[in-house]
Amino acid sequence: MRKIIILFSGEGSNLLNIIKTLHNQELEVVAAITNRPQAAGIAKAEAHGVPVIIIDHTAFESREAFDHALIEQIKGIEHDLVVMAGFMRILTPVVTDHIRAINVHPSLLPLFKGAKAIEKSFESSELKGGISVHWVSSELDGGEVIAQAAFRKSQDESLESFRAKVRELEHRLLPETILSILKAP
């Protein structure tokens, strides 16, 4: 069975979705790694028997020092793919040059890179919102796009309904993309 590691920082909605739809069925989630000791996703992973590793980024004096600790943990676990699912850290080449990883981003890249992408997309004059799954590179949200999904914005759209549409697309496209990558020769 193919194995993945999931990186997350917060609620863990994509983490939980991957666990519920793919874990012990299509693949094995061998570990979930978070940079935030209070992340709500910790309990979600543990409730499904997924080991959680906490590496508190505030305990490190530099981004590179954190990345060295992160890559050491990743390299110590047998895996086929690293999936960043709401992992809110900008990674340096210490990590990006040494792992095969994908990221889900809540906008139609190359639009709205970085933080607050949902809000920026919602407030923009763009007629569509959407998500992208891309390869992780040393450029923030700049790796090659693997898959995208979009929806048409409505004129009376609230930020909450826009955010819900983004999450719905993430919960469908991210697992599909993971399986597609793992089944490729």
Catalytic residues: 105
- Integer Rg of the chain from CA: 16
Which residue from 79, 65, 32 is spatially nearest to 51, judged by alpha carbons?
32
Q: How many CB atoms are located within 10 Å of the residue 9 CB?
A: 19
Alpha-helical (H) ranges within the chain are: 13-22, 41-47, 63-75, 93-96, 117-123, 159-183
First to last CA, the chain: 15
Asked if 53 contacts 33 with a C-beta cutoff of 8 angstroms, the reply is yes
Which residue from 127, 123, 39 is spatially nearest to 85, judged by alpha carbons?
39
Token digits of residue 57 = 């980024």
